[in-house]
Structure 1
Amino acid sequence: MARMIWAAIGIAMGAAAIAQTAIPQSEIADTKPDDFIYVAATSQDRVGRVMTPVFVNGVGPFAFVVDTGASSTVIAPRVARRLSLQVDTSNTKLLRGITGSEIVPTVNVSNITAGGISLENTRLPVVEPRVFADADGIFGADAFGRGCLVVSFQRAKVAILSKPCPRADDNWEKLRARLRFGGLVVADAHIGSVRAVAIIDTGAERSLGNPALLAALRERKKISLDSNRTQVYSATSQIVFGDLLVTPSLRMGGLSVGRFHVVYGDFEVFKIWDVADRPAIVLGIDVLGQMDAIMIDYTRSEVLVLPRSSASGVTMKRRGMPTRLPRN
């Protein structure tokens, strides 16, 4: 029988590009600017995602997408081939993505490590890299357990810790957020005057809205009736069309983003997450990258953001070496 997982990774062809990178350590440190950069070309521009180096069975590093919207870590077939891992087509999982679902085979790995976090003796889905292209897999929410993820967009670096996040100073804004479905980060937000559920998804390049949000905005005459039809892809094979629209400003705790583009559509993922009947939005890197940093503490179920132009940051200590992130 197939086990169900979700992988909410997707691309919507559109505008606004932000390239992200990562470092090959769990602590934040200087690195060459071209280390582990991945930018997926679209029809109009280049949009980036958060990447991290990962070791599988002690071999690597492989470049994985850090995806807070995916319930499971997955690997690409080429990684399994390189490591001579046996792909098991009889032991499958049901992969549910933004646009649909499909059955995928699995592979057993002894360990998979990123930063200070390791998964031991685990069975991972093997997914064809339709969306993550040159990446070697997805590092999902299942891996974080009771750890910490810090992404500094300003400095283009990632820290993955196996312990609670360091205490933040007053420049960090704590969001009204919670963890659902085994690690999905959900926050309260306002899109214009509409209250909405916001899913924080570091694996999505473009923000996506559901029909309930679009209807609420149109009822208030806060959004244009004109749109551009756009193709949306996910980790599954289905391709769905959506409507690309300029959307009113976003407010989420201390984070405020001016008018921005959102792709609206009846995407499967909103049904999976049980938010199809109320206004909801997936916040991708196009929006998240407009802040300096985001910190997700899976132990305390806390989400903090560092808005642009903050004067200070948070001190992180690892192996006795203090590191500060991020600083203008």
Structure 2
Amino acid sequence: MRGFISLLALGIGALAAPSLPAQQISPASLPAPAATPVPDTLRLGERTDRMTVPVSIGPHGPFPFIVDTGAERSIMSRELAGYLKLAPGGDARLFDFTGPAEVSTVKIPSLSAGSLGTPAMEAPQLLMANIGAAGVLGIDALQGQKVVLDFERRRMTLKPARRHASGDIVMPAQPGTGQLIVTQASYEGKPIAVVIDTGSWLSVGNGAMLRLLKRAPKSYGRAVMTSVTGRSFSADFVVVGPIRIGTARFDNFGMVFADVPPFARFGLADRPALILGMSSLKLFGRVELDFANREVAFTLPRAQIDFHEVCRSAAAVCNNFGMR
């Protein structure tokens, strides 16, 4: 019997990820190995409103992978693993927003994106329809790197972290976890911990954070979230505030509340905490994630954000977002 490894994958969308059939990966769509390295600055694509970057598997690719700063391990789609004829690995117990699941893994010769490169690894293989892309680039590949998400220019920079993060708001991340967790944040004037998760579209607060409310929030409808393993859960989409992250204040903040398993895995089950998803991160003009120096930096947007459009794409159930 093969042993189990324990890992975490947080990626969720506001709705089930669209089906991406295996025939999208074909010999015609498989680029020849590049003669020169892929540049450090990569154009951001979109799959289920999450970011994708081109990732090469050994000499093959690149393929669109979601960047998930909440996932402990990188993930490969079964379709891509089958097309590349990757060898099977051991079994793994994967934790996502719905709890543990036993999954199979494949052996990957290497992952590369820009200057980022990894040695050979074993990665869980999951259905492309549930992942929302050909794979997921997790924090096992991002350690030692600085990830700069420039939403205004729609580009992402991956490079070794040699200097500290810079921006309008710079905060240290809590030590002891692979994820970046910042504590210079508050809700209803009380401190909260914030997990930076680019793999999740909606932001999710735990029950301890919900109990800080002075009154029950108004529900704008149910949001159904599907995890990378294809399992779903639903929760009321609400608008709350004020939430402060550093010096930024969100007066009307769209999110859901649910005591999902990752909070316990982060040691935050009984502590007010928020998993900050892409619908909230994209309110900033730029976000810098420094895994080497354990820092997070936010740059406020130069232009006015269309908060109504943000709400429509987040859950299609609310309006009147605001940040100041």
Which TM-score tier does this pair reach, normalised by the shorter chain?
0.7 to 0.9
Instruction: Give, in angstroms, the shift of residue 235 of structure 1.
Output: 1.4
Is 1:195 equivalent to 2:203 in the alignment?
no
Q: Counterpart of 1:271 in 2: which secondary structure?
A: helix
| Conserved? CA contact 2:192–2:271, under 8 Å | yes
Q: Counterpart of 1:102 in 2: which secondary structure?
A: strand
Is 1:55 equivalent to 2:50 in the alignment?
no
Is 1:65 equivalent to 2:66 in the alignment?
yes
State the one-letter code of the partner of 1:78.
Answer: E
Q: 1:9 aligns with which of 8, 11, 18?
A: 11
Against the structure 1 CA distance between its residues 226 and 214, is the aligned structure 2 distance closer, same or farther, given a 3 Å change threshold? same
Distance 2:84 2:186 in 1: 46
Distance 2:200 2:140 in 1: 17
State the one-letter code of the partner of 1:290.
Answer: L
Instruction: Give, in angstroms, the shift of residue 172 of structure 1.
Output: 3.1
Matches within 5 A, 1:239-258: 239-258=232-251
Distance 2:289 2:265 in 1: 22
Structure 1 equivalent of residue 208 of structure 2: 212
Structure 2 equivalent of residue 94 of structure 1: 93
Distance 2:73 2:118 in 1: 11
Structure 2 equivalent of residue 144 of structure 1: 142
Q: Any stretches of 5+ residues in structure 1 without a counterpart?
A: 15-23, 41-47, 311-328
Distance 2:164 2:264 in 1: 35
Q: 1:28 aligns with which of 19, 35, 41?
A: 41
Matches within 5 A, 1:213-292: 213-217=209-213, 220-221=214-215, 223-224=216-217, 226=219, 228-292=221-285
Report the number of matched residues. 280
Structure 2 equivalent of residue 316 of structure 1: none
Distance 2:264 2:4 in 1: 19
Q: Counterpart of 2:144 in 1: which secondary structure?
A: coil
Instruction: Give the % identical residues.
Output: 25
Instruction: Give, in angstroms, the shift of residue 243 of structure 1.
Output: 1.9
Structure 2 equivalent of residue 320 of structure 1: none
Instruction: Give, in angstroms, the shift of residue 249 of structure 1.
Output: 2.5
Instruction: Give, in angstroms, the shift of residue 52 of structure 1.
Output: 0.8
Q: Any stretches of 5+ residues in structure 2 without a counterpart?
A: 17-36, 304-324
Structure 1 equivalent of residue 45 of structure 2: 37
| Conserved? CA contact 1:176–1:253, under 8 Å | no
| Conserved? CA contact 1:199–1:281, under 8 Å | yes
Distance 2:268 2:196 in 1: 14
Distance 1:167 1:274 in 2: 26
| Conserved? CA contact 1:116–1:161, under 8 Å | yes
Q: Counterpart of 1:196 in 2: which secondary structure?
A: strand
Q: Counterpart of 1:85 in 2: which secondary structure?
A: coil
Instruction: Give, in angstroms, the shift of residue 292 of structure 1.
Output: 0.9
Structure 1 equivalent of residue 114 of structure 2: 115
Distance 1:129 1:28 in 2: 25
| Conserved? CA contact 1:4–1:93, under 8 Å | yes
Structure-2-length-normalised TM-score:
0.80
State the one-letter code of the partner of 2:130.
Answer: V
Instruction: Give, in angstroms, the shift of residue 9 of structure 1.
Output: 0.7
Against the structure 1 CA distance between its residues 58 and 163, is the aligned structure 2 distance closer, same or farther, given a 3 Å change threshold? farther
| Conserved? CA contact 2:65–2:136, under 8 Å | yes
State the one-letter code of the partner of 1:185.
Answer: L
